[in-house]
Amino acid sequence: MQEKTGPVGRTDRILDAAAGLLVRHGYRKVTVEDVARESGIGKGTVYLHWRTKQQLFEAVLLRESIAYLEEFLDELRRDPRTLLPHRMVSSTFLAVARRPVLGAMAAGFVEGTHATRADASLRGRELLVAERFHDLMTRHGLFRADVPNPLYTFGAVTTGFHVYRSEEPMDVAAKAESLAYVVRNALEPAVPPGDRELADAASEMIEIIEDLIPPFRKWIYAYERPDEPG
């Protein structure tokens, strides 16, 4: 495997180390010293990239989230019906299962990093995206009109499926199927939007995500110091 070099390569090396430690030990147990040791980089250099431990692990989660969002964009471009809420949550649930870092986040290992963002600009951008998403889903008839607070309900149901641990053995596909069933019957109208409506909604959703990814990627690497040694 080719060694990562240069400022961006160094950043990814730190993030790779932090991601591995996060999955193995959980957010609370991992220190910046651990990450520096794992990545073979001085602790002070880690702090040149991110000023706090929380910022470091938010960068880990954002990088992994961007990778998933890019997969989701590909699905959405292939098939606008991916935006139907039950299909969207099923796809996300399976993606989290494939991605250990997202799975660690969903399992609660990183409590404290997503409740309050270290950077106010991230929180503000996420709130704006949530508003645009809610408007899109209601305007195009993807949420039932009679459901109170559909975005809250959507998030609460989805989060519950991610964090609940059943004593009954179930594979990931079965859990995703159950989640899709609940969302479809609780939140979606009896008659889904037509193909034209779905295509318009998907186009808007693609625009929202494409607007979101560049500033998030820029934030991940915001503390680069190109003149610092690796």
| pLDDT of 6 | 52
Q: Centre a 10 Å sphere on the Cβ of residue 120 and count the other Cβ atoms it contains.
A: 9
- Tokens matching residue 60: 């880990």
| pLDDT of 34 | 97
Residues 93, 4: Cα–Cα separation, whole Å: 31
Residue 2 has pLDDT above 80, yes or no: no
Reported as type and span, the H/E element at residue 196 is: helix 195-220
CB of 86 closer than 8 Å to CB of 183: yes
Residue 109 has pLDDT above 90, yes or no: no
Residue 111 has pLDDT above 90, yes or no: no
| pLDDT of 113 | 53
Give the mean pLDDT of 198-223. 91
Residue written as token pair 């939007």? 193
Interhelix angle for 172-187 vs 150-163, to 10°?
Answer: 160
Q: pLDDT-based confidence at 117, cuts 50/70/90? A: low
Give the mean pLDDT of 170-191. 95
Give the mean pLDDT of 178-197. 96
Q: Residue 41, SS3? A: coil
pLDDT digits (tens, 9 = 90+) for 119-178: 677 778 888 899 999 999 999 999 999 999 999 999 999 988 988 888 888 899 999 999
pLDDT digits (tens, 9 = 90+) for 54-91: 889 989 999 999 999 999 999 999 999 999 999 999 99
**DSSP per position, 10-60:** HHHHHHHHHHHHHHHH-TTT--HHHHHHHHT--HHHHHHH-SSHHHHHHHH
Straight-line distance from the first to the last Cα atom of the chain, in angstroms, rounded to the nearest whole number: 18
Give the mean pLDDT of 81-110. 86
Domains parsed from the chain with CATH numbers: 65-218 (1.10.357)
CB of 61 closer than 8 Å to CB of 18: no
| pLDDT of 193 | 96
- Tokens matching residue 129: 């995206």
Positive or negative CA dihedral for 132, 157, 144, 78?
A: positive
